[in-house]
Amino acid sequence: MRSGRGPRVGMALLAMNEGGGLEPFYADLLAGLEEELDRHDGSVFLHVVPDLEAEILAYRRWRSEDLVDAVVVSDLVDNDPRQAVCAELGLPAVHIGGDPASGDWVVDYDNASAMREAVNHLTGLGHVRIAWVSGPGRYRHTQARASSFVEALAAAGGQGLRREGDYGAAAGTALTADLLDADPPPTAVVYDNDLMAVAGLREAHRRGLRVPGDLSILAWDDSANSRICHPPLSVVSRDVHELGVVTAGMLLRAVRGEAPVPEIPPVAQVVARASTAPPA
């Protein structure tokens, strides 16, 4: 951190679909990140990239041109190369969803426990056939949710279906249609974000289905989208804004050269609204 100004933080994000949009999770994350950094005269440089290779190229350019002091690394994958690249560049990095035992700056949120909460909420209502519309399977957080989805359903004696999407509304519509055409269809669906869930709700309504009378819907992450639709969506709720604040605090400490200490936020909880009920 140089005298007279705060840290400059870089964040390169992959577009969630071909339209170039960003996953809504990041709007709340960035709000918390910017709020905390602003208190220290810091700034965030956001760059949308098409793939992981482009993200790594951005890191190298930012470092060579002295554009950022630290980066936020998210949407981790197996054998993720970004940790080694940041170490090679001497670029402090906070890994969202990383391994607390890695020795890096890590904000770890427990996706497995959150998915277990989601499944237990639905099986507790009496649902047996439960579907999950997931995000891309390459992400570690999706893989953690996948294992927990299977285990929680097996423990409850339920049956699971999974469809993989890209977090966009078009995927939510198409995959919901595919699930509802199954024989027999699920009585409840968990969606990995609010955009896919709202699109799924619309598809159910288009088919004349009652939510939650004929189909229960549970979305991941609370948002305005989840609260203002009809009916309001039950959600797996975690404080994403606070996650951004925590991430900013770690970035400040990383730039100062402090030793890494992982942060583990509270486990997400299900907030039940009008979109989930016992099956008909």
Does the structure show a pLDDT above 70 at 2? no
pLDDT for 98 equals: 86
Three-class DSSP labels, 159-225: EEEEEECCCCHHHHHHHHHHHHCCCCCCCEEEECCHHHHHHHHHHHHHCCCCCCCCCEEEEECCCHH
When pLDDT is averaged across residues 99-110 and rounded to a whole number, the result is 88
pLDDT for 24 equals: 80
pLDDT for 6 equals: 87
Round to whole Å and give the CA distance between 32 and 28: 6
| CB count in 10 Å sphere of residue 253 | 17
* Residue at 215: amino acid letter: L
User: 17 vs 223, which has greater pLDDT?
Assistant: 223
Looking up tokens 């992450």 gives: 221
Q: Which domains does the chain have, with CATH numbers?
A: 8-109+239-266 (3.40.50.2300), 111-237 (3.40.50.2300)
Cβ 265 vs Cβ 271: under 8 Å: no
Looking up tokens 């995927």 gives: 171
Segment 140-190, tens digit of pLDDT: 999 999 999 999 999 999 999 999 999 999 999 999 999 999 999 999 999
Round to whole Å and give the CA distance between 152 and 55: 35
Does the structure show a pLDDT above 60 at 131? yes
The SS3 call for residue 100 is helix
Q: CA torsion sign, 123 to 226 to 265 to 143? A: positive
**Structure tokens belonging to residue 82:** 């970004």
User: 183 vs 103, which has greater pLDDT?
Assistant: 183
Round to whole Å and give the CA distance between 202 and 196: 10
When pLDDT is averaged across residues 65-80 and rounded to a whole number, the result is 95
* Percent of the chain's residues with pLDDT above 70: 96
DSSP code at position 233: P
pLDDT for 173 equals: 98
Q: Which residues contact 157 (CB under 8 A, 6 or more apart)?
A: 128
When pLDDT is averaged across residues 46-75 and rounded to a whole number, the result is 95
Looking up tokens 């890590």 gives: 106
Q: What does pTM read for this prediction?
A: 0.92
Does the structure show a pLDDT above 60 at 201? yes
Q: CA torsion sign, 248 to 251 to 253 to 259? A: positive
Segment 3-53, tens digit of pLDDT: 347 899 999 998 766 566 677 888 889 999 999 999 999 999 999 998 999
pLDDT for 20 equals: 60
Round to whole Å and give the CA distance between 124 and 126: 5
pLDDT band at 255 (very low <50, low <70, confident <90, very high): very high
